[in-house]
Every structure is written in C-alpha cells, then in structure tokens.
C-alpha cells in the first residue's frame, strides 16, 4: 500500500520567519510522522530575503528531510522591477521598445488573456494582495501531479489566496481539500465582528468553505463565529489549537531571592499594549528587588522598516530595560530559562490566542497576561494557576507585576512541574496530530487507501 | 585607479576591483537611474563602472573628473562615455543623411540653367513639399528604426569593453540597466555573467 501524499500550500514557510511558520512546520512534521509523503508549495526565498527581509535561516533546518519543498516565485513589485534579465526573451532583450509597443497595441486583448490565464487580479475577484500567486501555484500543482498523484490538498492562510489555489487544484484534480485558518478571514480579530471585505471576497470564502472537506480554526471563538456565519457548514469547522514546542521549554528551576527578570518574547508589533507595560514598569520598579530587569526578545515587526518606530518607544537601559534582539528558535528555551516572570502583552478580543500563549503556559513560570478583559488569551489563562490576567492599564499592570514577583519567589518546583504536566496536551505535535486525524478521515482518502 | 571619464577601448587601463557594479544608461532617464545606482553603490562601498550613452557633459570632457553632485571617493567611479561613438554610428548618421541626400539634388537643380521665375517657383515648391514629406518620413520611419535598433547599437559599441571586463576583472556584484535601451546591454551582459543579479535600480 503506497503512502498517502499531502500537497501542502503554505505561502509562509522557512526561511520566512512569519508568525505562521511554526504552525506550518508542525503541520508537515505531523503528517511526516504519520507516514504521509508531504510536498510543500511555498513562496520563493528571494521574496522573503530581498523583498520583505523577514527570514530566519535556522528554521530551514527544522524542515523534515523527507518533505519536498517547491518554491513558487511571488513579488509585490511590478514585473519590470523584479525581472531577472535572464528570464527576458531574445525579442524583448534586443528590441525592448518594439516589444513594449506590440504589447501596448494588443492592449485589451492582453488584459483579457491575463484574466483568463489567472494572471490578473480580475481573475480572482477577492481582496488579497497575493492573488498573482494563485495561478503559478495551480500550475506547480499540475507539475507535481504529473510526477506523483496527491491525495489531499491542505492550505494554510493567510494569505487566503492559498485557499483559493487549493480550491482550484482540488477541483482540477478531483481531490478533497482542507483549509487551515491561522487567523479568521471574514472577521476582524481585534473587534471580533465581520471584517470590512468586499462582497466578492465573502462570496469567495463562502465558495471555499462550501467546497472544502474541512475548515480548521485555532480556537473556539473563531470556530464558533464561523459556525454561526455559515450554519449549514458548521459541521466542517474543527479546532486545532496552536501548541508549544517541547524544545522551547527549559528545565524547571526553583525560586530565588535575587533580582527578578520579567520578560517577553515574540515578534513585537505596535498592536502590543507596551505603553501600559512600560508605564507600569517605571512606576513599580522601585518596589521590586534592586537590579530587577524588564527584558524583551524578538524581531521588531515583520518587516525591516517596522523596527525604528518601535525602538523609539522603548525605555533606555537606565530604566532596567533591555532589548536582546531576535532570539533564534534554538535559543528560545535559554531565553525563557533566564526569566522569573513571563509577560504576554496582546491586543484584541476573544479570537486572539497567539501561539506564544501555549508556550508560555507550559513553562511553569508566573505569567502576566496584558490583554482586554474579553481577550482570548485572558480567557485561556483563567484556569492557569500561575497566570494573572490584567487589562492594559498601567495601574493594573503595575499591581500584577508585584503580584507576579511574589509568585516567582514562592512557587515551588513541585508546583511548577505540576503546571507543566497539566499543559502536556498542548504540545505542538500532539495538537497537530488532531489535524492529521481530521484529514485522514476524508472519504476519498480512505477509499484510495483501502483500494 | 584614477577617477575620470574615459572612452571606448580605454577600459583595459581602468579595470575595477572587487566589489564593483556595472551600470548602463543610454537615455536621459537611464542617466538619472545610473546616477541613483552609482550613489547607492558608493553607499555600500562598491566601485562603479558606468557605460554612459546619454552624453553627460562631464566636467572637462573625457579628461575631467566625474561630477555627480554627491561625494565620490577617489577612484571609485569610472564613466565610459560612448555618446559620440553612438552618434557616429551609420544608423544615426542615416537619420541626418537621408533628408540631405534627397534634398541636395533639388537644391542643385534650382541653380542649373537660366533662372526663370516659374521654374524656381516650381522647384522651390517641390523642394518644400519634399522637405515636409522627408521630415515626416524621418520622424515616422527613420528615427523609429534608429530607436528600435538603439539598444543593439549601444550593445555592439560597448561589447568589446564588456567582454574585456569579463576576462580581466573580477565579476561585478550587480548589473544595473537604467532604461529600455540599456536593457539590451544588460540582457547581453547577463549572459556573460550568468550568476550576477540584474536590476533597473539599486534598492
């Protein structure tokens, strides 16, 4: 019996360091471990490195060796800007003006041809900046299919163009497809209500959900919202939470009496409620043991140009603050080992449960979660014995810092170990096995496997 | 390496050392992009070898220094000005010569034999009509043909120097083509240095 073959469409995949990459990596590992052949279609490295400058080379080493990775070029730039002259044909290379003139005179015919060939935004009437990626991905899938048939198409979004590509590929090749929502498409996570999308975009999502075998959501709030939005397709909504990586969790250590280190790790964005945290730190620092530190690790935004505005908001070193820069995946455990209290500043409402939340929850270290009262992470931490949830208000955060400091000094090793054990179900691969189970239940796959 | 403007065939005495960027610019727009590319390359401490077909009026001509309106470290920029060579190319001479060669006989005919008012008026009328027709022909056809072939002409002019660079200098870090005409030069250069990135601008 041959191994089932998964075609996985993940725009962001190593060396990209986008936040969704860890879930994508865990997904391919889970399918690989479950005995699937996995082929990933992702964007080209040039886009990640040169165009958006958002890469972490160490992540490439985490791709299982047996997983095939096919890269489909993408660019936000116009064709003329990005074109490698080696890709330019002889005619255009030697007679560029004549070539442009001919193309211009063909005008509307060319536009129509592009629409038909899927190379125009008009080909896919939906709001997404990655539409031009769809057609090359469909073509790549055809090429892969010629080499080896695939049994299931799984796409992760955003970008949601990956979903549309999966729908088209599944339709062309008669295979089922599943969409893995890392974020909700139809909803604005910050406010939890419908996002401002065009009617064709809602129609595109409805079409995708209608034709998909299953829709995977990262938390109950998003799954419920989708079930309510598409009640006839509520049975397709499944929850596969993000998980933590065992390698990111350091050994448990007991409390100590020295200065305390409060810290946070993640890709910092201007949506984080850092203002309230910094104000609280300034006002309550003198109540903490002398030499206590506030430490921040991680990339500043997802793009190089995001860094400077964020840096300008940080306190200076004299305020007991240190920014240690990006922390490679392999050093995450070491970073957490140096913290006595972990801070989780988050924006948004019930739909926002960042992947980091589960990682932090599994540490067995006191936590201060700074998020609105109805925040998804706040809700998750309610049952966590070492977590303190507070609104992004400087006074509330200040009080929580002191409370967490007390917890850091009084929580025993046994209590920390107990917390860690209670979080074992959220280990990422354990969580992702659920995704494999859902896909493996597809009737077509079962029929093929039996045959 | 002295910093200067040189002509075709003089590159051998001004070979760039690593790291350097190869820049092509033919039109006014290409010249502007070439300037920006040069500034960017200098920012990254790279030397520049710039084939300039636009005919920038470099200070002091070919023996003068490169005046780029921004600081240029000594020896970091060499401009190969081939604009005069391009003007002398037969295709460009044709643009000027075709009208002259056709009008000339009529002008001469006006001076032959006994001048009569009617004959002069007729010949003048023919000459003016022909001049208008030739002007239109020149604009509609000859200049367009020259434009169509300008990229290839430009490449043919610089080809020997570029090939000398490929055999005698370390490979450039980037090939910049500033306009559509220079695209042809870049296109051919990209086939000489097959691994070197090509771009219209330096980001």
Mean pLDDT of A277-297: 93
- Is B145 strand, coil or helix? helix
Task: Report the greatest alpha carbon distance in chain B.
Answer: 74
Find out whether A97 and B154 touch, Cβ atoms under 8 Å: no
Give B138 or B27, the one with higher predicted confidence: B27
Q: What is the pLDDT of residue A386?
A: 95
Nearest by CB: A85 against B151, B180, B190? B190
Of A174-183, A304-313, A384-393, where does mean pLDDT reach its minimum? Answer: A304-313
Are B121 and B137 members of one domain?
yes
Are B14 and B104 members of one domain?
no
Structure tokens at A436: 């494999």
Choosing from B146, B161, B187, the residue where a domain stops is B146
Of A100-104, A228-232, A394-398, where does mean pLDDT reach its minimum? Answer: A100-104
Find out whether B56 and B79 touch, Cβ atoms under 8 Å: yes
Exposure string of A208-229, with b = 16+ CB inside 10 Å and e = fewer, is bbeebbbbbbbbbbbbbbbbeb
Cα(A311)–Cα(A295) distance, integer angstroms: 14
Residue A409 CB neighbours (<10 A): 15
Q: pLDDT category, A137, cuts 50, 70, 90?
A: very high
Nearest CA in chain B to A50: B203
Q: pLDDT category, A451, cuts 50, 70, 90?
A: very low
**Which single residue is written with the structure tokens 């993000």?**
A242
CB–CB contact B184 A50 (8 Å): no
Q: How far is CA B163 from CA A299, B155, B188, B195, in A?
A: 45, 11, 10, 16
Cα(B135)–Cα(B132) distance, integer angstroms: 5
Q: Please report how the helices A96-116 and B180-192 are oriented relative to each other, as an axis angle in degrees rounded to 10.
A: 90
Give A52 or A260, the one with higher predicted confidence: A260
How close is the nearest chain B Cα to the Cα of A107, in Å? 19
Mean pLDDT of A406-414: 93
Q: How far is CA A174 from CA A140, A171, B163, in A?
A: 16, 5, 53
Nearest CA in chain B to A91: B184
- In eight-state DSSP terms, residue A51 is I
Residue A127 has pLDDT above 60, yes or no: yes
Are B169 and B73 members of one domain?
yes
CB–CB contact A81 B200 (8 Å): yes
Exposure string of B81-99, with b = 16+ CB inside 10 Å and e = fewer, is bbbebbeebeebeeeeeeb
Percent of chain A topping pLDDT 70 = 94
Structure tokens at B154: 């430009």
Cα–Cα–Cα angle for A292, A293, A296, rounded to 5 degrees: 160
Q: pLDDT category, A9, cuts 50, 70, 90?
A: very high
Are B36 and B74 members of one domain?
yes
Find out whether B41 and B175 touch, Cβ atoms under 8 Å: no
Percent of chain A topping pLDDT 90 = 54
Q: pLDDT category, B200, cuts 50, 70, 90?
A: confident
CA A399 to chain centre: 32
- In eight-state DSSP terms, residue A260 is -
Nearest CA in chain B to A82: B199
CB–CB contact A84 B194 (8 Å): no
Are B124 and B140 members of one domain?
yes
pLDDT by residue (tens digit) across B148-193? 888 999 999 999 999 999 999 999 999 999 888 899 999 999 999 9
Mean pLDDT over all residues of chain A? 88
Q: What is the pLDDT of residue A78?
A: 57
Q: What residue spans of A247-389 are helical by DSSP H?
A: 274-284, 307-311, 332-337, 355-361, 376-381
Are B108 and B189 members of one domain?
no
Residue A324 has pLDDT above 90, yes or no: yes
Residue A206 has pLDDT above 80, yes or no: yes
Q: pLDDT category, A94, cuts 50, 70, 90?
A: very high
Nearest CA in chain B to A90: B187
Q: What residue spans of A212-329 are helical by DSSP H?
A: 220-229, 274-284, 307-311
How close is the nearest chain B Cα to the Cα of A76, in Å? 14
Are B20 and B114 members of one domain?
no
Q: Please report how the helices B90-110 and B143-168 are oriented relative to each other, as an axis angle in degrees rounded to 10.
A: 150
Separation of first and last alpha carbons in chain B: 27
Q: Does A50 touch chain B (CB under 8 A)?
A: yes
Strand partners, A179: A155, A215
Cα(A293)–Cα(A289) distance, integer angstroms: 10
Residue B137 has pLDDT above 80, yes or no: no
Mean pLDDT of B98-126: 71
CB–CB contact A86 B198 (8 Å): yes
Are B104 and B28 members of one domain?
no
Phi, psi of A330 (to 5 degrees): -70, -15
Q: What is the pLDDT of residue A448?
A: 58
Q: How far is CA A60 from CA A17, A40, A69, A356, in A?
A: 10, 13, 11, 20
CB–CB contact B184 A96 (8 Å): yes
Are B14 and B44 members of one domain?
yes
How close is the nearest chain A Cα to the Cα of B190, in Å? 6
For residue B12, the enclosing domain spans: 4-86+150-199
DSSP E strands in B74-165: the ranges are 77-81
Cα(A365)–Cα(B15) distance, integer angstroms: 62
Nearest by CB: B148 against A80, A93, A97? A97
Which residues of chain B neighbour A99 with C-beta distances below 8 Å?
none
Which residues of chain B neighbour A88 with C-beta distances below 8 Å?
183, 187
Cα(A162)–Cα(A115) distance, integer angstroms: 18
Nearest by CB: B180 against A50, A86, A96? A96
Find out whether A85 and B196 touch, Cβ atoms under 8 Å: no
Instruction: Dihedral sign for Cα A134, A140, A142, A144, please.
Output: negative
pLDDT by residue (tens digit) across B65-94? 666 667 777 778 888 988 888 888 777 777
Residue A266 has pLDDT above 80, yes or no: yes
Cα(A106)–Cα(A125) distance, integer angstroms: 24
Q: pLDDT category, A39, cuts 50, 70, 90?
A: very high
**Which single residue is written with the structure tokens 């279609």?**
A41
Which residues of chain B neighbour A81 with C-beta distances below 8 Å?
199-201
Q: Does A97 touch chain B (CB under 8 A)?
A: yes
Q: What is the pLDDT of residue B2?
A: 40
CB–CB contact B151 A84 (8 Å): no
Q: Does A100 touch chain B (CB under 8 A)?
A: yes
For chains A and B, what is the number of CB pairs under 8 angstroms? 47
Mean pLDDT of A258-272: 90
Cα(A172)–Cα(B123) distance, integer angstroms: 74
Q: Which CATH number fits domain A5-243+429-450: 3.40.50.2000, 3.10.310.30, 3.40.1110.10, 3.30.750.200?
A: 3.40.50.2000
CB–CB contact A88 B187 (8 Å): yes
pTM over 0.90? The answer is no
Of residues A158, A214, A210, the one with CA closest to residue A187: A158
Cα(A155)–Cα(A181) distance, integer angstroms: 9
Of residues A136, A120, A194, A192, the one with CA closest to residue A169: A136
Q: What is the pLDDT of residue B62?
A: 59
Find out whether A46 and A318 touch, Cβ atoms under 8 Å: no
Find out whether A155 and A161 touch, Cβ atoms under 8 Å: no
**Which single residue is written with the structure tokens 């309230």?**
A276
Parallel, antiparallel or unpaired: strands A5-10 and A152-157: parallel
Comma-separated ranges of CATH 3.40.50.2000 domains in chain A: 5-243+429-450, 246-426
Mean pLDDT over all residues of chain B? 81
Structure tokens at A136: 């090359």
How close is the nearest chain A Cα to the Cα of B12, in Å? 26
CA A75 to chain centre: 20
**Which single residue is written with the structure tokens 């921040």?**
A296
Residue A402 has pLDDT above 90, yes or no: yes
Residue A364 has pLDDT above 50, yes or no: yes
What's the CATH code of the domain at B180? 3.40.50
Q: What is the pLDDT of residue B199?
A: 85
Nearest by CB: B198 against A85, A97, A98? A85
pLDDT by residue (tens digit) across B1-42? 345 788 888 888 888 888 999 999 888 888 888 888 888 888
One-letter-per-residue 3-state SS of A323-392: EEECCCHHHHHHHHHCCCEEEEECCCCCCCCCHHHHHHHCCCCCEEEECCCCCHHHHHHCCCCCEEEECC
Find out whether A25 and A40 touch, Cβ atoms under 8 Å: no
Q: What is the pLDDT of residue B1?
A: 36
Q: Specify the CATH superfamily of domain A246-426.
A: Glycogen Phosphorylase B; (3.40.50.2000)
Q: pLDDT category, A215, cuts 50, 70, 90?
A: very high
Residue A104 has pLDDT above 90, yes or no: no
Which residues of chain A neighbour B191 with C-beta distances below 8 Å?
86
Exposure string of A360-391, with b = 16+ CB inside 10 Å and e = fewer, is bbbbbbbbbbbbbeebbbbbbbeebebbbbbb
CB–CB contact A94 B191 (8 Å): no
Report how many domains make up chain B.
2
Of A228-232, B46-50, B54-58, where does mean pLDDT reach its minimum? Answer: B54-58
Q: What residue spans of A362-442 are helical by DSSP H?
A: 376-381, 394-410, 413-422, 428-440
């Amino acid at each position: 019996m041959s191994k089932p073959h998964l075609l996985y469409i993940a725009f962001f995949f190593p060396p990209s360091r986008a936040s969704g990459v860890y879930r994508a990596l865990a997904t391919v590992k889970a399918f690989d471990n479950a005995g699937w052949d996995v082929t990933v279609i992702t964007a080209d490295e040039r886009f990640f490195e040169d165009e958006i400058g958002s890469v972490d080379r160490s992540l490439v080493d985490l791709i299982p060796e047996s997983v095939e990775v096919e890269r489909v070029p993408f660019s936000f730039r116009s064709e003329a800007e990005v074109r490698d002259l080696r890709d330019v044909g002889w005619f255009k290379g030697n007679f560029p003006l004549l070539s442009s003139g001919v193309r211009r005179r063909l005008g509307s015919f060319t536009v129509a041809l592009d629409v038909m060939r899927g190379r125009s935004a008009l080909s896919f009437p939906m709001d997404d900046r990655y539409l031009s990626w769809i057609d090359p991905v469909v073509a790549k899938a055809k090429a892969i299919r010629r080499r080896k048939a695939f049994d299931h198409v799984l796409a992760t979004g955003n970008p949601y163009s990956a979903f549309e590509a999966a729908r088209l590929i599944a339709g062309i090749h008669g295979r089922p497809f599943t969409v893995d929502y890392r974020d909700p498409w139809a909803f604005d996570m910050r406010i939890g209500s419908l996002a401002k999308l065009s009617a064709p975009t809602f129609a595109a999502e409805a079409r995708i959900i209608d034709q998909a075998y299953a829709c995977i959501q990262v938390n109950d709030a998003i799954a419920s919202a989708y079930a309510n939005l598409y009640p006839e397709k509520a049975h397709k909504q499944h929850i596969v939470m993000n998980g933590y990586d065992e390698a990111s969790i350091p050994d448990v250590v007991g409390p100590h009496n020295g200065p305390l280190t409060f810290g946070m790790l993640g890709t910092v964005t201007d949506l984080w409620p850092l203002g309230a945290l910094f104000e609280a730190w300034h006002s309550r620092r003198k109540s903490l043991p002398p030499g206590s530190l506030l430490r921040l690790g991680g990339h500043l935004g997802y793009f190089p140009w995001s860094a400077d505005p964020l840096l300008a908001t940080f306190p200076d070193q004299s305020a007991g603050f240190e920014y240690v820069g990006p922390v490679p995946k392999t050093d995450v455990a070491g970073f957490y080992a140096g913290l006595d209290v972990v801070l989780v500043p988050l924006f948004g409402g019930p739909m926002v449960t960042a992947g980091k939340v589960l990682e932090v929850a599994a540490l067995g270290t006191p936590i201060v979660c700074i998020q609105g009262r109805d925040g998804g992470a706040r809700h998750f931490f309610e049952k966590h014995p070492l977590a303190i949830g507070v609104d992004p208000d400087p006074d509330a955060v200040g009080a929580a810092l002191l409370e967490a400091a007390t917890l850091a000094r009084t929580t025993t090793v046994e209590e920390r170990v107990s917390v860690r054990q209670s979080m074992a179900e959220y280990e990422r691969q354990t969580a992702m096995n659920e995704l494999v189970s859902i896909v493996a239940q597809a009737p077509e796959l079962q029929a093929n496997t039996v045959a | 390496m002295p910093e200067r403007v040189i002509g075709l065939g003089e590159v051998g005495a001004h070979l760039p050392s690593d790291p350097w960027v190869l820049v092509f610019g033919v039109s006014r727009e290409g010249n502007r992009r070439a300037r920006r590319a040069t500034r960017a390359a200098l920012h990254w401490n790279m030397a520049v070898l710039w084939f300039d077909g636009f005919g920038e009026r470099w200070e002091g001509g070919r023996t003068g220094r490169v005046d780029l309106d921004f600081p240029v470290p000594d020896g970091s920029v060499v401009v190969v000005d081939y604009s005069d060579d391009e003007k002398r190319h037969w295709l460009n001479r044709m643009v000027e010569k075709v009208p002259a060669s056709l009008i000339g006989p009529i002008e001469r005919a006006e001076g032959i034999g006994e001048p009569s008012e009617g004959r002069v008026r007729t010949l003048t009328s023919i000459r003016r009509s022909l001049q208008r027709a030739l002007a239109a022909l020149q604009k509609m056809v000859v200049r367009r043909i020259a434009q169509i072939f300008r990229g290839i002409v430009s490449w043919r002019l610089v080809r020997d120097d570029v090939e000398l660079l490929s055999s005698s200098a370390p490979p450039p870090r980037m090939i910049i083509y500033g306009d559509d005409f220079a695209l042809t030069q870049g296109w051919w250069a990209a086939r000489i240095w097959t691994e070197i990135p090509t771009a219209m601008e330096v980001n």
